[in-house]
Amino acid sequence: MNEKDYKIAIDEWNRCKSDYSTISNLIPTNYIFELLGDKIDKIIEKNKYVDLCAEAGIFNGEMVLIFVPLNENGYIDKSVTEYEYTVLCPLKYDLRLQETKEFTVVKNAVLSSNLTKVDDNTNMSLPVSDQPILDQDLAVDAIERWRNEGMEWFFRECTEFEGTRIFKRFYIPKEDLSHTEPKIAGVKCSFGLRYNDIYQRMLVTLIFISFHEVMLEGSSTQLTSNTYDWAKPCPPICRIPELGS
């Protein structure tokens, strides 16, 4: 997507996000976003900041997420004129959320200097996650809440607040999409609804379900989960002054 189309797309979303009727037709709550590995590589390559920024837009009559490239300081990289984007689409197949907990059994035996056993014990360590992940149960709950209550959330935001509190963009930890081991083959991204204690209200989030090459090969070696942390919506969580609130 070029810069002209990008600006048109975000302007169209800003124009329509106070119109509940338009939103209800534009965003079926059972639709998701998809990103394949090659597109993810391009997004990561163009972005130098610790977070990714995905702007909400309407392009060719469809809801899209547009990944705006940021420089090292978190400002839009003006040297990049082509933006990667993904279209909200129906889910073609069942979506599998996988979480594996590994337990390690440590058996200790101590022999004295004359080779007689002086100690013998067995300990089981608790599972430890080696990546910052969103607990699977929380992810499923947020997705189901979006499926069941997403349109009610939009209706209240449109009627009571004229769309001013509806998300314009999301900030995504780069680690959600960028892994070297195991390499990500693709990502499916669902909206979710999750209560935020600080803002004392329900916020829309993005939940990323990634598919690794080792998973596609039927292996779960070293894999703790394929469900990653949630994206932060703006408003209210706005981190890039250049883009405004």
pLDDT, residue 219, reads: 41
CA distance 198 to 81: 36
CA distance 79 to 71: 10
Percent of the chain, pLDDT > 70? 68
Could you read off the pLDDT of 189-218 as tens digits, one per residue? 889 999 999 999 999 999 887 776 554 444
pTM: 0.77
CA distance 30 to 210: 18
Angle at 44 between CA 236 and CA 77, to 5 degrees: 70
Average pLDDT of every residue of the chain: 79
pLDDT, residue 6, reads: 95
Could you read off the pLDDT of 44-78 as tens digits, one per residue? 889 988 889 999 999 999 999 999 999 888 888 88
CA distance 135 to 229: 8
Q: Which of 38-52, 123-137, 173-187, 207-221 has the highest mean pLDDT?
A: 38-52
Residue 85 pLDDT level (bands cut at 50, 70, 90): very high
**CB neighbour list of residue 240: distance below 8 Å, 6 or more residues apart:** 53, 70, 74, 75, 171
pLDDT, mean of residues 98-122 = 52
b/e string for 225-239 if b means 16 or more Cβ within 10 A? bbbbbbbbbbeebee
CA distance 53 to 65: 9
